[in-house]
Structure 1
Amino acid sequence: MDKLRAKLHVKHELGRALLAEFTGTFLLLLVLNSVVAQAVLPKNKGVLGNETIGVNIGIGIAIWFGVAISARLSGGHINPAVSAMFALFGQLSPVRFLLYFVVQLLGALFGSAVAYAVYQDAIFGFDGGNHQIVGNSATAGIFASYPAVPIGLFNGFLNQMVATAVFCFLIAHITDKRNAYPSWVQPVLIGVTFVGIGTAFAYNDGYPCNPARDLGPRLFTFIWGYGGEVFSHRTWSWVPVIAPLVGGILGGLLYQLLIGFHTPQDVEEKYVVLTGNQELKPLTSKDPEESAQA
């Protein structure tokens, strides 16, 4: 394995980061779409149908591990809205943000394709091969978000923006080094945070809160026979792309303005005895490697 690692190891730091963002987002969408499929496809919901809380927990766990596996290499964003927030903080250049967005989108597309492959027979049994956007036999909602019938575009935009703002506000808090959350626990907390987002904001139009998570699967369904209506239905498709980006920036700004700028920079001091003159000097415990950005 060491010889294989030496041959296959990506030496360029940006290349490693992009590979990690692709892989983390791929895993997120593979698990997420599969969780939703189990909620939608059973004819007898009492046999295998997940209740809403089951969907929320499954997606939260998918985010937990998507962030965890990619955090050391890329920061574990797996979400362009989160990347936009860290670009606002100056931790991501505009070019790097765009590259992250592209690989996150590709990861979401391929993750959705594999989830479809796993559930293709069940999907065919449910809709008879007549892939529909809405209706009793609709399966497009397994992959991308579609609004509930009574909701308008403004309300839908507001729902997505507020949900993502809350999510990114909490991510900014969790990943702020001044709050001293250990790096290993940050992905867990981010996953749990999204469970809370789902239980609070899912009713109106789902809660993608992630442009790649919605646009990637939507592109897949367009390619795979659901037709152009996946983009034209109620002129909705732009909302879960633009609103989360606005929400991510808004959430990051609010965190810094209301909390972050006012949090003391407390650095724990440890003392060691230096040889020679036996002088006591402080040694900070701050570790620049310790970060798990979502």
Structure 2
Amino acid sequence: MEVYVAEIIGTAILILLGDGVVANVVLRKNKGEGGGWIVITAGWGFAVAMAVYSVGWISGAHINPAVTVGQAVAGVFPWVDVAPYLIAQLIGAMIGALLVWLAYQKHFDATEDPGLKLAVFCTGPEIRNYAWNTVTEVIGTFMLVFGILMIVVSGGEFLTGQAGDQLAQQWTLGTWPLIVGFLVFSIGLSLGGPTGYAINPARDLGPRIMHALLPIPGKGTSDWAYSWVPVVGPLLGAVIAGLAFLAVEPLFI
């Protein structure tokens, strides 16, 4: 049970700090207003690192259904735990989004543009083409999940089929969580432009649900027509990353 609670807490931290930096940059009358894409991508990178440092020693800090599914496909996480992890991550994402709304409530009121309000909670494409938007999310998430798996391998202690406690411990050793944060920062800088790089189904779906539920004045639509892209794309990318890791694993183990 404690690992699922840890995933809830870790994902809530991720969204609080990640969606929080977006709110600081895009909502009106903030000290960070207009900070730009570099601030947002850096904020998300640090958010990932802080979430992993916080609960990685308990649950492995997947904080992302794509990471969970990718590790299961790669054979380093038990399939029986996948569904509970995904549910915990979605709950944590919704809690994190609620906290962001509470922290920035008056700034939501001061912002007239409904698109900016939605951007705090979830991603959206700059050029709407569902097929190519999905491709972008697949590539970005592949880089995330494959990168994480290879970082674990580079630690020299990876044992296929023995993820469990060992992988959870590795996640909190030294600078590894910070390196994964740099990976997320890099993905945002290099691949985030077309879609806003969800690369995490819970990160997008949980806050999108909260956007629909919360009493935000003038919030407009939650763009449910697009909502499947940041769910399906990352999951596909995770599966491909897990399979790719299985293909190259014999070269390193």
Judge same fold: TM > 0.5, yes or no: yes
Given that residues 74 and 245 in structure 2 are in contact (C-alpha distance below 8 angstroms), is that contact kept between their aligned partners in structure 1? no
Letter in 1 for 2:17: V
Aligned to 2:18: 32
Gaps of 5+ in 1: 1-14, 266-294
Q: Distance in 1 between matches of 2:29 and 2:245?
A: 44
Given that residues 168 and 251 in structure 1 are in contact (C-alpha distance below 8 angstroms), is that contact kept between their aligned partners in structure 2? yes
Residue 93 (structure 1) shift: 2.8
Aligned to 1:20: 6
Given that residues 8 and 92 in structure 2 are in contact (C-alpha distance below 8 angstroms), is that contact kept between their aligned partners in structure 1? yes
TM-score, L = length of structure 1: 0.76
Residue 39 (structure 1) shift: 1.3
Residue 72 (structure 1) shift: 1.2
Q: Distance in 2 between matches of 1:54 and 1:180?
A: 34
Q: Distance in 2 between matches of 1:178 and 1:61?
A: 21
Distance 1:228 1:146, change over 3 A: same
Instruction: State the Cα deviation string for residues 177-232 of structure 1 (Å, max 9, x = none).
Output: 66459622221111010000000111111011000000000010111146893143
Letter in 2 for 1:157: T
1:72-111 alignment runs, 5 A limit: 72-111=57-96
Q: 2:145 aligns with which of 168, 176, 195?
A: 168
Letter in 2 for 1:229: T
SS in 1 for 2:53: helix
Q: 2:250 aligns with which of 252, 261, 268?
A: 261
Instruction: State the Cα deviation string for residues 73-102 of structure 1 (Å, max 9, x = none).
Output: 111100000000111123333331000000
Aligned to 1:210: 200
Aligned to 1:146: 124
Aligned to 2:163: none
SS in 2 for 1:171: helix
Aligned to 1:195: 185
Larger radius of gyration between Structure 1 and Structure 2? 1
Q: Distance in 1 between matches of 2:30 and 2:145?
A: 37
Q: Distance in 1 between matches of 2:30 and 2:50?
A: 30
Q: Confirm or deny that 1:115 pairs with 2:100.
A: yes
Q: Distance in 1 between matches of 2:63 and 2:207?
A: 14
Q: Distance in 1 between matches of 2:130 and 2:215?
A: 26
SS in 2 for 1:230: coil
Aligned to 1:71: 56
Gaps of 5+ in 2: 159-169
Q: Distance in 1 between matches of 2:87 and 2:46?
A: 24
Q: 1:155 aligns with which of 128, 132, 136?
A: 132
Given that residues 173 and 179 in structure 1 are in contact (C-alpha distance below 8 angstroms), is that contact kept between their aligned partners in structure 2? no
**How many residues align structurally?**
238
Q: Distance in 1 between matches of 2:124 and 2:155?
A: 39
Q: Distance in 1 between matches of 2:100 and 2:221?
A: 21
SS in 2 for 1:184: coil
Residue 41 (structure 1) shift: 1.4
Aligned to 2:166: none
Letter in 2 for 1:59: W
The structure showing larger relative contact order (alpha-carbon pairs under 8 Å, at least 6 residues apart) is 2
1:172-187 alignment runs, 5 A limit: 172-176=149-153, 179=156, 183-187=173-177
Given that residues 33 and 143 in structure 1 are in contact (C-alpha distance below 8 angstroms), is that contact kept between their aligned partners in structure 2? yes
- RMSD, matched Cα: 2.1
Given that residues 80 and 104 in structure 1 are in contact (C-alpha distance below 8 angstroms), is that contact kept between their aligned partners in structure 2? yes
TM-score, L = length of structure 2: 0.87
